[in-house]
């Protein structure tokens, strides 16, 4: 694999994480627990889709085949998506949405914190811009973790159930492959092994404050980064890509 090919895939991972999570969050718009949170969750979705556009545009440039953000978002099938399994999991209830967000935000924050110093200036620039948004996401989701974990008995139980269900997807980000290694060697991306202990340390702090128990002995699912997804992704794409697929080659 050339470095250019690896970078292309790496950028798709970044873009797809943001796109798929943004798509999931946008399902909440109009259905959130309170009007103020409709607005808040939509802001997260807007940030993420904005980030996805930047990453996918850059991916298209790096690939050099003239594909733009929309061709990459709308005309790839599930096997060519490279997002983490975590972000494609369904919204379920506010508890699942918050836990998913928190587990992702904590990783995403550490990742972008490193990416802003990437040797690739284009990557560094997008990361630095995104980092400000992600910092806020992490603050938002951490606060909700504590608020609901330590709220009522019902909210605590719902949060614990969500954590138990999603925990198996929490470490995929740190399972490195050839692409991660190539990027780390080139100084484009960070050494994920160094980030992992920090991740677990921060997550444990918040879980502790939220009075939630991290599941033990959980097998960590993997595959999303390499294009092996849960069944959910196919439906996300079927919905998201409908118009482009049903009416090919048109301007919208």
Partner 1 sequence: MSREELEKRFQEKIDAEIKIEPKDWMPERYRRNLIRQISQHAHSEVVGMLPEGNWITRAPTLRRKVALLAKVQDEAGHGLYLYSAAETLGISREEMIEQLLSGKAKYSSIFNYPTLTWADIGAIGWLVDGAAIMNQVMLTRTSYGPYARAMVRICKEESFHQRQGYEIMLTLARGTEVQRQMAQDALNRWWWPALMMFGPSDKDSVHTAESMKWKIKRKTNDELRQQFVDVTVPQAEYLGLTIPDPDLKWNEARGHYDFGEIDWEEFWRVVKGNGPCNHLRMKARREAHEKGAWVREAALAYAEKRRQRQQQKAS
Partner 2 sequence: MNKDWPLWEVFIRAKNGLSHKHAGSLHAADAQMAIENARDVYCRRNEGVSIWVVESKYITASDPEDADALFEPAQDKIYRHPTFYNLPDEVKHI
Could you give the residue ranges of the DSSP H alpha helices within the chain? 3-26, 35-63, 69-74, 85-88, 94-115, 121-149, 153-166, 178-185, 192-209, 232-240, 242-246
Q: How far apart are CA 244 and CA 41, in angstroms?
A: 26
* Binding pattern for the stretch 88-127 against partner 1, x by CB under 8 A and - elsewhere: -----xx---------------------------------
Minimal distance in Å, beta carbon 36 to partner 2? 4
Q: Is 66 in the site for partner 1 (CB under 8 A)?
A: no
Q: Which of residues 121, 152, 217, 219 is near partner 1 by CB under 8 A?
A: 152
Q: CB under 5 to 8 A by kind: which of partner 1, partner 2, none does 140 bind?
A: partner 2
Chain-centre distance for alpha carbon 25 = 11
Nearest to 163 by CA among 83, 111, 92, 227: 92
| The one among 38, 63, 164, 191 contacting partner 1 by CB under 8 A | 38
179-238 binders of partner 1 (CB under 8 A): none
Within 13 Å, how many C-alpha atoms sit on residue 73's CB side? 28
Chosen from partner 1, partner 2, none, partner binding at 217 (C-beta under 5 to 8 Å by type)? none
Instruction: Report if residue 49 touches partner 1, rule: CB under 8 A.
Output: yes
CA distances from 50 to 24, 56, 184, 222, 233 (A): 14, 10, 25, 26, 20
Structure tokens at 190: 């960070």
Q: Which residues bind partner 1 (CB under 8 A)?
A: 19, 23, 26-27, 29-39, 42-43, 45-46, 49-50, 52-53, 56, 69-70, 73-74, 93-94, 146-148, 150-152, 154-155, 158, 239-240, 242-244, 247, 250-252
């Amino acid at each position: 694999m050339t470095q250019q090919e690896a970078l292309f895939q790496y950028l798709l991972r970044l873009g797809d994480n943001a796109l798929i999570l943004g798509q999931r969050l946008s399902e909440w718009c109009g259905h959130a627990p309170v009007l103020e949170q409709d607005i808040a969750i939509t802001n997260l979705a807007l940030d993420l889709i904005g980030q996805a556009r930047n990453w996918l545009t850059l991916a298209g440039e790096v690939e050099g085949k003239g594909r733009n953000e929309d061709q990459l978002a709308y005309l790839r099938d599930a096997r060519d998506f490279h997002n983490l399994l975590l972000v494609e999991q369904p919204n379920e209830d506010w508890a699942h949405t918050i836990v998913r967000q928190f587990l992702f935000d904590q990783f995403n924050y550490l990742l972008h914190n490193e990416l802003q110093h990437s040797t690739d200036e284009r990557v560094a620039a997008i990361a630095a811009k995104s980092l400000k948004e992600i910092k806020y996401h992490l603050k938002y989701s951490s606060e909700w973790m504590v608020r609901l974990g330590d709220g009522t008995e019902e909210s605590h139980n719902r949060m614990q159930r969500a954590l138990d269900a999603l925990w198996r997807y929490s470490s995929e980000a740190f399972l490195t492959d050839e692409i991660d290694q190539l990027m780390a060697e080139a100084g484009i991306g960070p050494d994920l092994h160094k980030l992992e202990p920090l991740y677990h340390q921060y997550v444990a702090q918040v879980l502790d404050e939220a009075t939630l128990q991290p599941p033990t002995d959980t097998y960590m699912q993997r595959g999303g980064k390499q294009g092996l997804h849960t069944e959910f992704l196919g439906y996300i794409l079927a919905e998201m890509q409908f118009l482009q697929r049903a009416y090919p080659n048109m301007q919208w």
